[in-house]
Structure 1
Amino acid sequence: MLAYALRRLFLALVTLWLATLLVFGALLLIPGNPATTILGINATPEAVAALEARLGLDKPPLERYLHWLGGAVRGDLGQSIRYNLPVSKLIGSRLLITLPIVAFSLLLATLVSVPLGILAARRSGTWVDVGISVGALLGIVLPSFWVGLMLIYVFIVWLKLPLPSSFPIGGWRVPAQALAAMVLPVLTITLARASLLVRMVRGSILEVLHQDYVRTARAKGLSERVVLYKHALRNAALPVVTVLGLEFAQLLIAAVIVETVFGIPGLGALSLTAISARDFPLVQGVVLTLAAFIVGLNLLVDLLYGLLDPRVSYQ
């Protein structure tokens, strides 16, 4: 197990290193002079040269990449042009807002989707299955920004519940207000994610219930509950675990839309600001952070597979 984990960790680090090459190389391919793009076409040559020296753009690309990579290894992602603050500090403060939203959304989506998926599989072909499947399909096709706006209208405008429509300026210094501001964004994200997971759980359970070992368990006289929860659910969880790992990473990216709708100053809003302001150090830091989460979660899923499925070889 240890050798397998170390090998997967090595591959994850190689993947992350390749991600740094892609991030840095993509910004090199952007046409035009980044300093001119940031300062505008009316900037003087002296101002452009000064900004190039400040950003290190006057050095060869390989030297700039090695300097940035060395800083990234130490946790130093450079200085933001837009905010004049360390990129790592900016990203860390925004992750404190985005990560709880994503974590609560995925947790709630799992708690809702697993029982509904199991129920739909057990009642396959009945009106219960049809109702759950249609509801899941609607949750998938409805745009997140529209769902968010409808939730604001229903809960705040119509029902007049005391829920803030944006994140408090004080942030987590006022925990009650911060948690209240997360209710509607979490519900918005949960609707789409739970809808996808319901279909995944239903399909996995139906596939497992037709396996020979399930029929053997039933032939032994075991109750349907024991057959489902002790024998079928563990194997049916394998594709669901894969989806959950990928979903967490995708939610960090999808949070851009939700954070825009609800005025939440999270990582998604920070990435939009960085792109619009041509803040290349901040763009590099945000993309590298997202890549690190994706690679790390894929590594975690690989290790969980070995625990859930004894057929996975550690050799």
Structure 2
Amino acid sequence: MIGYILRRLLQAIVVVLVVTVIVFILLHQLPGGAARAILGPRATDLQITEFNLQNGYDKPLIVQYFHQLGQWLTGNFGFSIKLNQSVSSLLVQRMPKTIILGLLSLVLTVVVAVPLGILQAVRRNKPFDYIATGLAFVFYAAPTFFIGLIMIEIFSQQLGWFPPEAPQANGVVPIFAQFDAMVLPIVTLALLSIAGFSRYMRSSVLDNVDQDYVRTAKAKGAGPTRVLYHHVLRNALIPIITLLGLSIPAVFAGALITESIFNFPGMGLLFWQAAQASDYPVELGVVMITAFATVTGNLLADISLAVLDPRVKL
């Protein structure tokens, strides 16, 4: 097991290094070069020369890469001239909010999707199964921004149950003081995952129902409820636990749109505003953090699968 974990960790490190190379190349492919893109079209030649000297852009590319890699590894993602603030400080302010939004949406996803998938499997090919499957396909196919706008129109504008805008207070604690304003962003971000997770859960339960150990349990006199919750559920949850790690990048991607719709001051909204203002250091910083979260999520998924499922060959 230790050898397997070390191999997967080494692979994750290689992937992260490849991502840094891609981001470095993109940085040098910016229109007019990194200096012109960051300082803006009105920057003078003297300002661009001074910027290149301060940031090492006048040195060979291989030297620039290792210098940039060292900066990234120490948490230095550059400086946002447009916001007059370091990118690292912006990420420290915004990242906890995105993490809270993502965790709450994942909790809601598991709480709803697991029982829904079990119920669909138990009542397969029944009206409930067909209705739930149809709704899952609709939510899985619908764009996140469309779901968010529908949520605002129905539950905020028409019914007036929830505010149309997420909490704007600084810090994480005030978010829970205005939790009613978090309901629509959490549900919007979770609906897509619920649709996918419930389908996986249904398929996993159906696959395990036909296994030999289920027939053995029934032959020993175990009732349907005991067989389902004490035998089938344990094995059926293994793919779902693995999916939790793989869903981290999807949560970050969905947060970009969800936070923009509900004006939630997290990393997603920060990236959206940076894209509109051509604030490239902020965009690159968010890309690096998202890439690291994606690799970490995949690593955790692989390790959890090996730990939970003894059938997996290490």
- Over aligned residues, Cα RMSD in angstroms? 2.1
Which secondary structure does the structure 1 equivalent of 2:125 belong to?
coil
For 1:289, the equivalent position in structure 2 comes to: 289
For 1:60, the equivalent position in structure 2 comes to: 60
Does the Cα contact within 8 Å between 1:117 and 1:200 map onto a contact in 2?
yes
Task: Give me the TM-score of the superposition, normalised by structure 2.
Answer: 0.91
The amino acid that maps onto 1:282 is V
Does the Cα contact within 8 Å between 2:162 and 2:181 map onto a contact in 1?
no
Which secondary structure does the structure 1 equivalent of 2:150 belong to?
helix
CA distance in 2 between partners of 1:173 and 1:247 (Å): 25
TM-superposed CA distance for 1:164, in Å, is 5.4
Does the Cα contact within 8 Å between 1:259 and 1:269 map onto a contact in 2?
yes
For 1:204, the equivalent position in structure 2 comes to: 204
Does the Cα contact within 8 Å between 2:260 and 2:272 map onto a contact in 1?
no
Cα distance change on mapping 1:283 and 1:54 into 2, 3 Å: farther
TM-superposed CA distance for 1:218, in Å, is 1.8
Cα distance change on mapping 1:71 and 1:47 into 2, 3 Å: closer
What pairs up with 1:57-206 in 2 under 5 angstroms? 57-161=57-161, 163=163, 165-172=165-172, 174-206=174-206
CA distance in 2 between partners of 1:122 and 1:173 (Å): 41
For 2:240, the equivalent position in structure 1 comes to: 240
| Residues 219-269 of structure 1: CA deviation (Å, up to 9, x unaligned) | 222111222222222222232223222212211112111111101121111
Cα distance change on mapping 1:67 and 1:95 into 2, 3 Å: same
Does the Cα contact within 8 Å between 1:118 and 1:205 map onto a contact in 2?
yes
Q: Where does the alignment leave 5 or more consecutive residues of structure 2 unmatched?
A: none
Cα distance change on mapping 1:268 and 1:188 into 2, 3 Å: same
CA distance in 1 between partners of 2:55 and 2:177 (Å): 39
The amino acid that maps onto 2:204 is S
TM-superposed CA distance for 1:286, in Å, is 1.2
Does the Cα contact within 8 Å between 2:117 and 2:201 map onto a contact in 1?
yes
CA distance in 1 between partners of 2:178 and 2:54 (Å): 37
CA distance in 2 between partners of 1:76 and 1:186 (Å): 31
Cα distance change on mapping 1:241 and 1:36 into 2, 3 Å: same
Does the Cα contact within 8 Å between 1:252 and 1:290 map onto a contact in 2?
yes
CA distance in 2 between partners of 1:223 and 1:113 (Å): 24
The amino acid that maps onto 1:200 is Y
Which secondary structure does the structure 2 equivalent of 1:206 belong to?
helix
* Mean CA deviation greater in 35-44 or 282-291: 35-44
| Residues 21-52 of structure 1: CA deviation (Å, up to 9, x unaligned) | 11112222344323233444444322332333
CA distance in 2 between partners of 1:175 and 1:33 (Å): 40
Percent identity for Structure 1 against Structure 2: 39
Which secondary structure does the structure 2 equivalent of 1:226 belong to?
helix
Does the Cα contact within 8 Å between 2:238 and 2:309 map onto a contact in 1?
yes
TM-superposed CA distance for 1:118, in Å, is 0.3
The amino acid that maps onto 2:59 is K
* Mean CA deviation greater in 186-195 or 80-89: 80-89
| Residues 252-307 of structure 1: CA deviation (Å, up to 9, x unaligned) | 11211111110112111112233333333322221111111111111111111122
Cα distance change on mapping 1:40 and 1:72 into 2, 3 Å: closer
TM-superposed CA distance for 1:210, in Å, is 1.7
Does the Cα contact within 8 Å between 1:168 and 1:177 map onto a contact in 2?
no
CA distance in 2 between partners of 1:170 and 1:29 (Å): 35
Which secondary structure does the structure 1 equivalent of 2:85 belong to?
coil
Which secondary structure does the structure 1 equivalent of 2:79 belong to?
coil
The amino acid that maps onto 2:166 is S
Cα distance change on mapping 1:140 and 1:291 into 2, 3 Å: same
TM-superposed CA distance for 1:311, in Å, is 1.6
* Mean CA deviation greater in 163-172 or 11-20: 163-172
Matched, 1:7 2:19: no
Does the Cα contact within 8 Å between 2:16 and 2:291 map onto a contact in 1?
yes
CA distance in 2 between partners of 1:99 and 1:307 (Å): 25
For 2:27, the equivalent position in structure 1 comes to: 27
CA distance in 1 between partners of 2:8 and 2:91 (Å): 27
The amino acid that maps onto 1:248 is I
CA distance in 2 between partners of 1:298 and 1:173 (Å): 29
Which secondary structure does the structure 2 equivalent of 1:174 belong to?
helix
TM-superposed CA distance for 1:149, in Å, is 1.7
CA distance in 1 between partners of 2:31 and 2:311 (Å): 50
CA distance in 2 between partners of 1:264 and 1:81 (Å): 22
| Residues 132-189 of structure 1: CA deviation (Å, up to 9, x unaligned) | 1112122212222122122222222222235352332444463444433321100111
Cα distance change on mapping 1:280 and 1:142 into 2, 3 Å: closer
Cα distance change on mapping 1:175 and 1:241 into 2, 3 Å: closer
